[in-house]
Amino acid sequence: MKGSVKIQGLDCANCAKFLEGEINKLDGIENAEIIFVKERLNFESDNIEKAIQDIVGLTKKLEPDAKIIYKSKDNENQAKNSKKFNKKLLLDCLMLILGVALGACAIFIKSLPIWSFWILFILSALSLGYKTYYKAVAMIFRAKVNENLLLTISVIGATVIGEYMEGLMVIALYSVGKIFEGLAVDKSRKSISKLIDLQPEFAVVLKNNCEEKLLPQQVNEGDIIIVRPGEKVALDGIIIDGDASVNTQSLTGESIPSHLEKGDEILSGSIVIDKVIKIKVTKPYGESTVCKILNLIENASQNKSKTETTISKITKFYTLGVVGIALLVWGIYWGVTKNFNDALYTGLIFLVVSCPCAFAISVPLSYFSGLGNASKQGVLIKGSNYLDLLTKLDTMAFDKTGTLTTGEFEITNINVVDKSLSQDDILRIASLGEQNSIHPLAKAILSANSQKLEKVNNVKEIAGQGVEFIFNKQKYFIGSKNKDIKNTVVEVYRENLLLGEIYLRDKIKSSAKITCQNLNAMGLTTIMLSGDKENSVKQVGDYIGLDQAYGKLLPQEKFEFIEKLKKDKKFVGYVGDGINDAPSLMLADIGISMGINGSPASIEASDVVLVDDNPEKIISAIKISKFTKKVVWQNIIISAVVKLAFLALCTFGVLGMPWAVFADVGVTILAILNSMRALKFKPKKLKSDI
């Protein structure tokens, strides 16, 4: 069984990773994972209650500041307390002030007796770093070393060689840095939480003219729900009464509200702005848009990028390696200079500078920020590995119907053969025969007709051809008799005499052309793979501006086409929406599906989901992925360069221990703030006719 608890008070990514490893060693617990930026611990166990008790006990030993929250009442109390003030932050600040005051008295009051000096010094050191020392000892008992041990050794070492002020400054600056680091992490967590705070608390269901508040999970498909101004829509549905302006920014990234009317589809997570509407629920909560988004974001952390995974693996052995190298530095320096104190001081500096915090927290935080930003823009990416892969695409293949086109037809031209009739006459006659049909072409013809329709007789459907009927004692046929016509055409006959032709095409999405233009401008080859007629596919492809367009393809042939592209060393993305696209979506390096009209199979098979079916969002996804990758490497390179530079300067005596602390904690804070840029990044609006 799967279990999940909230874990608060963890501001150190390395500590979280270590705690995760120790939890996985507990009997009866498997696949434990701490999602650091979301303060969430997921695990599997046959006995959830016992597992939670064991996790709570272990966490108290290893991370006394951390708190496991697993009861609803605890969650409510914690939420109330967090709005007032942060008790942990207040305590840390008070202990810092006390430690600095005691240390100042010990160092600067020269007339103190030696016993008074040591009492004040020890109390100061304990006030400033009691948590650090406790964690260092706890780790040693588990045969582990981490940054806490490095700092503890540094304080003790500085004291041994008589650098009392240096020793206190190390732990004081580290404590200040940890406070700021905690504030930066908390800010990033709150920013990300806003992006995924979509889940409505309740739904107002109308039953027997009475309103009843229910959890979204309790509402059934077909139920009628009422949504008032300012409320979130709890489930996907169709508006059956009323009209309103709706804010969908949290779902699609569009800041301008859209006006929806009776018959329009509305997505869960949308916010109704100005009027009361009634909605008929079309999907249960588990299949709703908001539920899909929450599930995808929750599971995104499981698919880590190579960069993130490599950094995680390195940090497991990094600290132990640092201790070993520091001992080597100390030994070499002592052997060369014959000065024990200077050698020890240099080794201690190496320990402090080399702490891996900047790498351990900034890389996963950058990726999570990028994923959160994409979600805000209406693009759900199922993991940071796919965020990385988006940057490598050089070929983008599209399905046609439902992807680049809406799947709904529109009339492009009416050709009148019998000159005694007008275009409106041809449209009216065709509408007479199609008025009871549900065929997509019939819907397009009926929606274009504005004339009154009379009843017709002897309606007969001819399979594969069209419909035949009697009107005013004359026989009419609406359909297609000429099989040589390559376009989508509906012919209108009266007693076998051709009266006119209605040309139709699949309605092209307004954003399709600008999407392909921008993909081409970014250097990607654009291809359409469709099962439709060659001529129709070529017309759509030419209008949109695709590099290549192929029609009359079966699902297996699409699959083979992508397979060939990959054999030619192309890095391929495939965009589709139907169940027949699922194989191609899985085969492509990046599969992209439609979130609204996409089939469950295509959404499951894809790596990226476009919430509002808008292909334009592909450009946003690629730009966000490239910016996030840039931020990740900025953090890695800047952290490494600064640490190496400070290490060299401190080793040769240019800078002292306080600067070493800055190189560790200061760079960590800068890396966290830089990571937040991936969350705030806004892709520029697309330009047409580039």
Query: Measured between alpha carbons, how far is 388 from 383 in angstroms, rounded to an integer?
Result: 9
For residues 550 and 561, is the Cβ–Cβ distance under 8 A? yes
Query: Measured between alpha carbons, how far is 584 from 684 in angstroms, rounded to an integer?
Result: 30
- SS3 of 340-354: HHHHHHHHHHHHHHC
Question: Angle, nearest 10°, between helix axes 164-195 and 147-160?
Answer: 160
CA distances from 489 to 262, 484, 526, 536, 551 (A): 31, 11, 28, 11, 17
In 3D space, the residue among 246, 204, 241, 243 whose CA is nearest the CA of residue 223 turns out to be 204
- SS3 of 536-557: HHHHHHHHHCCCEEECCCCHHH
- Say how far residue 295 (Cα) sits from the centre of its chain: 10
Q: Tell me the pairing of strands 488-494 and 474-479.
A: antiparallel
Catalytic residue among 65, 92, 399, 577: 399
Helical residues (DSSP H) of 383-522, grouped into ranges:
384-390, 423-434, 440-448, 512-521
What strands lie across the sheet with 457-462, from one edge to the other? 405-416, 497-508, 488-494, 474-479, 466-471, 457-462
CA-derived radius of gyration, the chain = 33
In 3D space, the residue among 55, 27, 53 whose CA is nearest the CA of residue 42 turns out to be 55
Query: HSE (CB half, 13 Å, CA atoms) of 418?
Result: 17
Q: Active-site residue 399, yes or no? A: yes
Q: Residue 472: exposed, middle, or buried by beta-carbon count in 10 A (0-12, 13-18, 19+)?
A: exposed
In 3D space, the residue among 450, 410, 407 whose CA is nearest the CA of residue 427 turns out to be 450
Compute φ and ψ for 211, nearest 5 degrees.
-95, 140
Q: What SS3 state is found at 28?
A: coil
Query: Measured between alpha carbons, how far is 449 from 455 in angstroms, rounded to an integer?
Result: 15
- Both structure tokens of 464: 């594969």
Using the Cα atoms of residue 141, residue 147, residue 151 and residue 157 in order, give the sign of their dihedral: positive
Q: Catalytic residue numbers?
A: 399
